Amino acid sequence: MKRFYEIYQKLQPMAGESKGRKLQPVAAELLFQVSWTNHVLILDKTISDEEKQFYLKMCIKEKWSKRELNRQLDSSLFERYILADKPEKVTALVPKHETKDLAKHFKDEYVLEFLNLRKEYSEQELEKALLDNLRDFFLEFGKSFTFVGSQYIIDIGRRENKIDLLFYHRELRCLVAVDLKIGEFKAAYVGQMQKYLAALDEKIRLPDEKESIGLILCKSKNHEEVRFALAKTLSPVKVATYRTKLPDKKLIIKRLGQFKIKDVKEKRSK
């Protein structure tokens, strides 16, 4: 309790929030919304003020248990958010989903260490492992997801087209089609996803729902290839990678340090 008081009463808000506003009042508001066990985990396993506030807010948003929070801490979720979205965007932890680009609400990389896959596996084995571990899948992707179906059939031109995984996002109020790939991203995947999304919007989407989102989940991607493949895309499509093992926290922190140095240099040059 003494350490809780000493740390929270002097914490500063995250970048982008009101200057001069300390985190202590926020912590007081959240005290009864976050379990004491989770508070202790956050105190023990985080360093910066922003990191503490990040996990506090995410505990509220996702209603994490002790096990779930511990897993996110071990997977370096905060550092991965910063590396993917830049520090100034991390303040939007509980998004209002007002942006027109709905695909931006999905991460650039997902950690799926709970799948327990062999070194070599097929797309069918990847899909089955995800279906067998939906609870952990939702922990990584967010608890706003609800499962609609696997190998979801949609008729296009009297031909059956199968979407690997179909979800519904309750906050965004839209369907999310997931295409699973065990190799590197290819531009042709975007055209296939656009076809799925157009069909979902015309045949399945309800009048009060937003346009469907496509998530192409690949083992790896070339960023320039992705950029050009999505440059003229009208449908909201996100290309993300996944890893089947927890990232090395030391390597991520080292990479984060390099990123911050580079970011500071870019700001100075401007």
Is 207 part of any domain?
A: yes
Element (H, E) at 153: strand 145-156
In this structure, which long-range contacts are made by residues 26-31, counting pairs with CB atoms below 8 Å and at least 24 apart in sequence?
Answer: 26/53, 26/56, 27/56, 30/56, 30/57, 30/59, 30/60
Mean pLDDT of 36-44: 91
What is the bridge-based pairing of β-strands 159-169 and 145-156? antiparallel
User: Do 208 and 160 lie in a common domain?
Assistant: yes
Tell whether 174 is covered by a domain: yes
Residue 95: inside a domain: no
Is 87 domain-assigned? Answer: no
Determine what percent of the chain is predicted with pLDDT higher than 90.
42
* pLDDT surpassing 90 at residue 56: no
Give the chain's domain count. 2
14 or 231, which is more confident: 231
Residue 147 domain-assigned (yes or no): yes
Taking the alpha carbons at both ends of the chain, their separation in whole angstroms is 45
Q: Are residues 137 and 31 in the same domain?
A: no
3-state secondary structure of 11: coil
Residue 176 belongs to domain spanning: 102-243
Q: What is the CATH number of the domain that holds 166?
A: 3.40.1350.10
Rounded Cα distance between 146 and 23, Å, is 33
Write down the pLDDT at residue 258. Answer: 58
Is 265 within the bounds of a domain? no
More confident residue, 269 or 3: 3
Residue 51 pLDDT class (50, 70, 90 cuts): confident
Shared domain check, 142 and 238? yes
121-135 pLDDT per residue, tens:
999 999 999 999 998
**84 located within any domain:** no
Let me know whether 121 and 221 are in one domain. Answer: yes
Q: Of 22-31, 212-221, 239-248, which has the strongest mean pLDDT?
A: 212-221
